[in-house]
Structure 1
Amino acid sequence: MTEAASATDRAGTLTLGGARGRWVLAAVVLGSGMTLLDGTVVNVALPTIGKDLGATLAGLQWTINAYTLTLAALILLGGSLGDRFGRRKLFMIGTVWFALASLLCGIAPSIEMLIGARALQGVGGALLTPGSLALIQASFASQDRARAIGVWSGLGGIAGALGPLLGGWLVDAVSWRWVFFINLPLAALVVAVAARHVPESRGESVSGGFDVAGAVLGAVGLAGVTYALIAAGGSHPDIAAVCVSGVVGLAAFAGFVVTERRSPHPMLPPRLFANRQFTAANLVTFAVYAALGGLFFFLVLELQTEAGYSPLASGTALLPITVIMLALSERAGRLAERIGPRIPMTVGPAISAVGLLLMLRIGADASYVADVLPAVCVFALGLAATVAPLTATVLGAADVRLAGTASGVNNAVARAAGLLAVAALPLMAGLSGDDYEDPAAFGHGFRVAVVICAGMLVVGSLLAWFGIRSDVLRETPEEPVKPVPPCKHYCAIGAPPLQCGVRPPTGETGKAAGGGPDMRKDAPPGT
């Protein structure tokens, strides 16, 4: 009997000390690492892609947003599909889909084909990403589950951290096309390991249908509003097309809200937002990740266009952000457990806003040590103070049975925020056409965009101060067990990491052992 044939029998019994457990962890780390890598590596290649394919600034916006749009719209549905049809199966399908879309990206002869392939990549990512965490949850024994999730989170974060560096090197040394081709051997290895070693699992309590209507309406809403914002910023916008797409997008969002309220199995349960703390945490998420998405789109372009950095140098300039987050996020999480999340979530975005204002010094011939590094480090310190308390608040505010769903919603909110920021900021900064090739024009637009992003961070800080309670993470008689985020290291810049919420370990609150059994009666999608 092959390992794949007996995989189902091993679900929930693997350990980190065993060879099979290590193979499973290797597969999910490599699989999710591809998507994390792709989330950072492409930004560095944007100027080169634009020049090679003759793209306008709108084309570069869609190169980022086509991927983010389909990923944000479908990530919750992707988790539900895995619960129903098999998590390993969907994980492998997502990996193959992602690889084939990457191949199409790499051979794209035009910006239009690249945008279409990027949208397909996002679909693959939506199938692949929630399956990674779900496979760990289902495959590992309870005593090793939290440790496995921690290893997955940390190693995945390192992949994301290396993205700008790797992307810059590939663009300089080979071609921007290898930013996408590099996914092919990684995907082949993931599929080979998963087929042989990863146990199959399904959601034991999955019932009802899929919220296809909600997924379609959400995607149409995001696409309509995104198209309107990007088209409005063009050199010669078609006002009629802008208005029609905007109206269609807003109408789809309204239909999405109605559908989720009426659906017996909504992918975004409205009852989550009945909790004011959950709503406030997601508003903070939207403000912070809108600023983050906008910054990473503009900063790499600014470093290469006006400051004259090479792709490798501009990618290396971003490395301190992920390194600082990786080093300090766990400590920020522990601080939030002691004093409550309100202060870290208020101070963190404010510090990041100061870092952004320091980036106003970046211009022609900017010095990395004097102009770029201090701003990047201050920004990263604020981000490290924010993300772990924010994620813990999202889980702590939700019903323990919906911890995984709450995390998925928060992840989608963050991605939607970045999507809309990349669409809107060039319009607000007065940039269009080939301005990304004009150092003076783009430099002026960059500084306008940075001020707007700093303002969004200040809004996030104020929302946290007035909306988040310091005691949201404390246990109460009504909620004697609060879900604890098993991911302790945060350095993904596109969205907060997906979490599942496990019981707190003995010795901290006197409850059950860490990584304990799934406590949710209605298992959330993808976890």
Structure 2
Amino acid sequence: MRKLFALFALVSGFFMAILDSNIVSIALPEMTKTFHTSIDNISWIANGYNVAFVTCLLIAARLADQFGRKMLFVIGLLGFSISSLICGFSSSFHMLVIFRVLQGMSAAIIVPVAMPLGLELVPKEKQGMISGIMGAFGGLAAAIGPSLGGVLTDKLSWNWVFFINVPIGILSLLFVFFFIQESYDLTSSRKIDWPGMITSSFGLFTLVYALIQVNKPSVNYATMSFLFIISFISFVLFIIIEKKSENPMLPLHLFRYKEFSFANLALFFVGMGIMNFLFVFAFYLVEVEGMSELRAGTIISTLAIVSMVVTAIMTPIAAKRGSIAIGCIGMIAFLIASYLFGHMSLNYTDWDYVWRLMIVGIGTGCTLAPFTTTAVLSVPTEKSGIASSVSNISRTVGSIVGVAVLVVILNHQLSIEKEKVNKEAEKIIYESNQTSLQKEKMLRELKLITKQQSVMKDASENNKFYKQIQVKYKHAVINSFNQTFQIGGIIFLFALFSLMIEMYMKRRDKDIKVVMHSSNEM
């Protein structure tokens, strides 16, 4: 029973930290009204959390290994609960952003520490089961965030996306105090690697901050390029420092474990590609289909439910036999889903979206948790905390890169498709029987079309020409999303290719061992 309560404490803390990375996204419009600010500003309620989370992950895992995982987990839970409460009571926009950053820092402590604490609850042969449970709930939290946020915002208020964490956090704290024992990485020195911490955190901060700026309307390309350069220099310095350090924050020899390296590479690509379904598709449902955020979130939650079931089945198998074959199945599922979502039309029903999302759920369940489990279990047990933090960085940075790249692709496709419609409409106007004045008026009104379907409704509501253009614009927008899904599918091809390379290298190593063994016998 003690282990069951301990597992509940770890899973619930882990679940909350992952959940809060996206539960607020659907509540942002309401927050914009409450604080009377712009959409650009309000995005920092989500961005502040993600920047702090990624920046602090590696540092938190290292300090936990050195000074006590239970102690750091308690600090993380306490910080997360208090910051959640204050976020709910925030009376100003800036106050909310500050405490969202503190929430992100607290989550960065919880996430990498939960896995090693969980692995210590059971013998080695059952560690795959623990990884499966945590992976299933982590996948559920990542996918169910928007729908749960929509329900809380719709039925109560946006404040409750934060208040919901408080009772769970308090209960988890109690269980941690009474049912979890302290643990350390006994191979780690207590000496803090300050140069490594500074360069790694600065490199991650500038990288994530630059990626967030990519698709902003007021982006300064000189500043963004400067941030990428600074990030690159920081990472180069970090690698040099860690190679020379006697007590490195991130032991670089971990990347000599092929399964660890390839699992993290695959996590990066999956985190990047899955944004096609969690971000771009959610935007499609709300902006193109005109669905409410609550309805869109409910449809997307199908992915979470299927993913949770598949994760619980596949992760223990990956822990015993590796994640290559399972990962390949997941990548194929993602590729099929990308193709299917790349052929959407105006007459789709909710069910048409749901069964396609079920395929995405299979892909998610076969990749995220199995790859994370493989990465963590492929290194020595005492390094599981650092391994867990690297895996979460790979997935999270991949997701942020995915949003940046996919939005650029979508905007480019929208620009191309709308230009085609404009040229077609202009040709129809010029070839029509209208007078010169009427043609000029129609051309002026055509230039005022700035959104996907808006066509001067006040002046031309009953005009068949404008209705025809509206339909063409909607088809153009849908075609843009379709092409984005198809291009986004290429990301999964890269991931599949990396798995094939890993499979080839494992077979080669196996053949070499067989040859060497045969030679020794002779």
Structure 2-normalised TM-score? 0.74
Aligned to 1:485: none
Aligned to 1:419: 400
Structure-2 separation of matches of 1:417 and 1:207: 31
Cα deviation digits, residues 102-140 of structure 1 (max 9, x gap): 234334556555444332211101122233334334566
Q: Is the alpha carbon distance of 1:139 and 1:50 closer, same or farther for their aligned partners in structure 2, counting shifts above 3 Å?
A: same
Structure-2 separation of matches of 1:412 and 1:380: 22
Give yes or no for contact 1:293–1:417 (8 Å, CA) kept in 2.
no
Letter in 1 for 2:393: A
Cα deviation digits, residues 289-345 of structure 1 (max 9, x gap): 111245423332332222222232222112222222222235445766898644443
Letter in 2 for 1:464: L
Give yes or no for contact 1:74–1:215 (8 Å, CA) kept in 2.
no
Aligned to 2:488: 453
Aligned to 1:410: 391
Aligned to 1:130: 112
Pair 1:253-2:288 in alignment: no
Aligned to 2:85: 103
Which of these residues, 499, 518, 521, is aligned with residue 464 of structure 1?
499
Q: Is the alpha carbon distance of 1:268 and 1:85 closer, same or farther for their aligned partners in structure 2, counting shifts above 3 Å?
A: closer
What is the correspondence of 1:229-378 to structure 2 with a 5 Å cutoff? Answer: 229-293=211-275, 295-333=277-315, 341-360=323-342, 366-370=348-352, 372-378=353-359
Which of these residues, 186, 189, 195, is aligned with residue 171 of structure 2?
189
Aligned to 1:168: 150
Letter in 1 for 2:305: V
Structure-2 separation of matches of 1:393 and 1:138: 17
Give yes or no for contact 2:26–2:150 (8 Å, CA) kept in 1.
yes
Q: Is the alpha carbon distance of 1:218 and 1:412 closer, same or farther for their aligned partners in structure 2, counting shifts above 3 Å?
A: same
Rg (Cα) greater in structure: 2
Letter in 2 for 1:406: A
Deviation at 1:34, TM superposition (A): 1.4
Give yes or no for contact 2:58–2:389 (8 Å, CA) kept in 1.
yes
Q: Percent identity?
A: 26
Deviation at 1:94, TM superposition (A): 0.7
Q: Is the alpha carbon distance of 1:56 and 1:359 closer, same or farther for their aligned partners in structure 2, counting shifts above 3 Å?
A: farther
Cα deviation digits, residues 355-385 of structure 1 (max 9, x gap): 1332345577852112x11321222222333
What is the correspondence of 1:58-97 to structure 2 with a 5 Å cutoff? Answer: 58-59=40-41, 62-97=44-79
Structure-2 separation of matches of 1:423 and 1:42: 19
Deviation at 1:31, TM superposition (A): 1.8
Cα deviation digits, residues 65-115 of structure 1 (max 9, x gap): 432332223223222322333333222211121123223433455655544
Structure-2 separation of matches of 1:127 and 1:219: 14
SS in 1 for 2:75: helix
Letter in 1 for 2:299: A
Aligned to 1:430: 411
Give yes or no for contact 1:43–1:296 (8 Å, CA) kept in 2.
no
What is the correspondence of 1:467-506 to structure 2 with a 5 Å cutoff? Answer: 467-469=502-504, 471=506
SS in 1 for 2:246: coil
Give yes or no for contact 2:318–2:374 (8 Å, CA) kept in 1.
no
SS in 1 for 2:158: coil
Give yes or no for contact 1:428–1:449 (8 Å, CA) kept in 2.
yes
Q: Is the alpha carbon distance of 1:37 and 1:386 closer, same or farther for their aligned partners in structure 2, counting shifts above 3 Å?
A: closer
Give yes or no for contact 1:357–1:454 (8 Å, CA) kept in 2.
yes
SS in 2 for 1:66: helix
**Higher alpha-carbon deviation: 421-430 or 454-463:** 421-430
Deviation at 1:148, TM superposition (A): 5.8
Deviation at 1:42, TM superposition (A): 2.6
Deviation at 1:180, TM superposition (A): 1.4
Give yes or no for contact 2:334–2:363 (8 Å, CA) kept in 1.
yes
Cα deviation digits, residues 183-234 of structure 1 (max 9, x gap): 1222222233334444444444442423343333233223323333433433
Give yes or no for contact 1:355–1:377 (8 Å, CA) kept in 2.
no
**Higher alpha-carbon deviation: 265-274 or 412-421:** 265-274
Question: Structure 2 stretches of 5 or more lacking a match?
Answer: 413-449, 454-473, 514-522
Give yes or no for contact 1:88–1:199 (8 Å, CA) kept in 2.
yes
Structure 1-normalised TM-score? 0.73
Q: Is the alpha carbon distance of 1:415 and 1:114 closer, same or farther for their aligned partners in structure 2, counting shifts above 3 Å?
A: same
**Higher alpha-carbon deviation: 151-160 or 401-410:** 151-160
**Higher alpha-carbon deviation: 195-204 or 27-36:** 195-204
Q: Is the alpha carbon distance of 1:468 and 1:192 closer, same or farther for their aligned partners in structure 2, counting shifts above 3 Å?
A: same
Structure-1 separation of matches of 2:324 and 2:37: 44
Give yes or no for contact 1:23–1:197 (8 Å, CA) kept in 2.
yes
SS in 1 for 2:307: helix
Q: Is the alpha carbon distance of 1:152 and 1:393 closer, same or farther for their aligned partners in structure 2, counting shifts above 3 Å?
A: closer
Which of these residues, 17, 26, 35, is aligned with residue 8 of structure 2?
26
Aligned to 1:504: none
Letter in 2 for 1:461: L
Letter in 2 for 1:316: T
Which of these residues, 345, 369, 375, is aligned with residue 394 of structure 1?
375
SS in 2 for 1:41: coil
Q: Is the alpha carbon distance of 1:358 and 1:25 closer, same or farther for their aligned partners in structure 2, counting shifts above 3 Å?
A: same
**Higher alpha-carbon deviation: 464-473 or 182-191:** 464-473
Pair 1:118-2:100 in alignment: yes
Pair 1:222-2:257 in alignment: no
Give yes or no for contact 1:44–1:314 (8 Å, CA) kept in 2.
no
Q: Is the alpha carbon distance of 1:349 and 1:363 closer, same or farther for their aligned partners in structure 2, counting shifts above 3 Å?
A: same
Question: Structure 1 stretches of 5 or more lacking a match?
Answer: 1-17, 432-436, 479-527
Letter in 2 for 1:374: W
Give yes or no for contact 2:57–2:112 (8 Å, CA) kept in 1.
yes
Structure-1 separation of matches of 2:114 and 2:29: 32
Structure-2 separation of matches of 1:469 and 1:107: 55
**Number of matched pairs:** 454
Q: Is the alpha carbon distance of 1:56 and 1:365 closer, same or farther for their aligned partners in structure 2, counting shifts above 3 Å?
A: farther
Deviation at 1:170, TM superposition (A): 0.6
